[in-house]
Chain A
Amino acid sequence: MKFGVVIFPGSNCDYDTYWVLKEVFNQETVFLWHKDHSLQGIDCVVLPGGFSYGDYLRSGAIARFSPLMQEVREFAARGGLVLGICNGFQVLLELGLLPGAMLRNKNLKFLCQFVHLKISNARTPFTNQGREGQVLRIPIAHYDGNFYAPPETMEEIKKNNQIVLQYSTPAGNVTPEANVNGSLENIAGLINKQGNVLGMMPHPERASEAVLGSEDGQIIFQSIISWLS
Chain B
Amino acid sequence: MKVRVLVSFKESVLDPQGQTVKNALHSLGYNFVKDVRQGKVFEIEVDDLPREQLKVKIPEMADKVLANPIIEKFEWEILD
List residues of A whose CB falls within 8 A of some B CB: 57-58, 61, 65, 94, 100-101, 103-104, 106-108, 148-150
Cβ contact within 8 Å between B70 and A150: yes
| Chain B residues numbered 38-80 whose CB sits less than 8 Å from any CB in chain A | 65-66, 68, 70-71
> Do B16 and A108 have beta carbons less than 8 Å apart?
yes
Distance between A87 CB and nearest chain B CB, rounded to angstroms: 15
Among B20, B65, B70, B71: residue with most chain A CB under 10 A = B70
A residues less than 8 Å from B13 (CB atoms): 103, 148
Is B24 an interface residue, CB under 8 A from the partner? Answer: no
Bound complex: CA A58 to CA B65 (Å): 10
A interface, by DSSP: helix, strand, loop or mixed? loop
Cα–Cα distance between A149 and B25 once the two chains are bound (Å): 30
Q: How far is the CB of B74 from chain A (nearest CB, A)?
A: 13
Contacts of A108 in B (CB 8 A): 16-17, 20
Q: Are A101 and B68 in contact (CB under 8 A)?
A: yes
Complex: A103 Cα to B71 Cα, angstroms: 8
The interface residues of chain B, by DSSP majority, are classed as loop
User: How far apart are the CA atoms of A61 and B61 in the complex, in Å?
Assistant: 13
Cβ B16 vs Cβ A149 within 8 A = no
Interface size classification for chain B: 10 to 19
Interface residues of B (CB under 8 A from A): 12-14, 16-17, 20, 65-66, 68, 70-71
A100-B70, A101-B71, A149-B70 as given contacts; A57 in contact with B65, CB under 8 Å = yes
Q: Could you tell me the distance between the alpha carbons of A107 and B70 in the complex, rounded to whole angstroms?
A: 21
Q: Could you tell me if B68 and A61 are in contact, using CB atoms closer than 8 angstroms?
A: yes
- Residues on B with C-beta less than 8 A from A61 are 65, 68
Least Cβ distance of A128 to chain B in Å? 30
Complex Cα–Cα for A65 and B65 (A): 9
B16–A106 contact, CB under 8 A? Answer: yes
- Are B66 and A101 closer than 8 Å at their CB atoms? no
A–B pairs, 7, beta carbons within 8 Å: A58-B68, A101-B68, A103-B16, A104-B16, A106-B16, A107-B16, A150-B12
